[in-house]
């Protein structure tokens, strides 16, 4: 159903407030308009693009929580974190992340996203990767979105200052990377 500009913009504001992670493409489909129309509406309403919205939400929510790594040093955008339990980040694969000859993401970007998320989830001033066991299960291409999910498996702070964090990364529902990170903590 087509709406007039004022109605569409009001619904746009409400939709983005309800889900700041919605893309311009999803908004265009929802309102049956072009992506350019959504971008113009956002510009007129001073609503930042998706990347900036994600960053703002993460900074507001997690700045005081993350201890081992400043949020701006995490590769990808942290969208959820429960220290010593779990964390989630998003990395949109862009031209600078891929090999120019085939458009496939360089593995070190996926590793960096997972490793920095494993560090960020540790509730300690110091967290270092002592050992990692990783595997890439499928190639990731330019324009794909990688969602990394970290889960703290073991936490033995008293005896050896080690914590094991499992990270699984997905494009949609497809597993593309998995890793187990043994983290040293102070």
pLDDT in tens, 90-107: 999 999 999 999 999 999
State the pLDDT at residue 110. Answer: 97
Mean pLDDT for the chain? 87
Task: Give the whole-angstrom CA distance, residue 82 versus residue 38.
Answer: 33
Distance of alpha carbon 87 from the chain centroid = 9
Most confident of 20-29, 69-78, 88-97: 88-97
Give mean pLDDT, residues 175-186: 93
Q: Is the pLDDT score of 158 beyond 70? A: no
Task: Give the whole-angstrom CA distance, residue 91 versus residue 159.
Answer: 35
State the pLDDT at residue 171. Answer: 96
Percent of the chain with pLDDT over 70: 86
| CATH 3.10.129.10 placement within the chain | 57-185
Residue 161 banded pLDDT, cuts 50, 70, 90: confident
Instruction: Supply the pTM of this predicted model.
Output: 0.67
Give CATH superfamily name and number for 57-185: Hotdog Thioesterase (3.10.129.10)
- Using only C-alpha atoms, the chain has a radius of gyration, in whole angstroms, of 19
Residue 91: phi, psi to the nearest 5?
Answer: -130, 115
Structural fold of domain 5-47: Arc Repressor Mutant, subunit A (1.10.10)
| CATH 1.10.10.10 placement within the chain | 5-47
């Amino acid at each position: 159903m087509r709406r007039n500009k004022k109605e569409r913009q009001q619904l746009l504001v409400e939709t983005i407030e309800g889900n700041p992670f919605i893309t311009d493409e999803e908004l265009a489909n929802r309102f049956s308009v072009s992506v350019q129309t959504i971008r113009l509406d956002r510009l007129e309403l001073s609503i930042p693009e998706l990347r900036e919205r994600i960053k703002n939400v993460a900074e507001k929510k997690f700045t005081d929580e993350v201890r081992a790594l400043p949020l701006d040093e995490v590769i990808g955008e942290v969208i959820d974190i429960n220290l010593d339990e779990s964390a989630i980040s998003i990395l949109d694969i862009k031209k600078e992340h891929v090999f120019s000859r085939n458009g496939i993401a360089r593995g070190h970007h996926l590793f960096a996203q997972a490793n920095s998320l494993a560090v960020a989830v540790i509730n300690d001033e110091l967290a270092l990767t002592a050992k990692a066991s990783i595997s890439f299960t499928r190639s990731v291409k330019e324009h794909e979105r990688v969602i990394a999910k970290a889960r703290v498996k073991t936490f033995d702070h008293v005896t050896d200052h080690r914590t094991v964090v499992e990270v699984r990364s997905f494009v949609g529902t497809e597993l593309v990377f998995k890793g187990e990170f043994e983290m040293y903590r102070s």
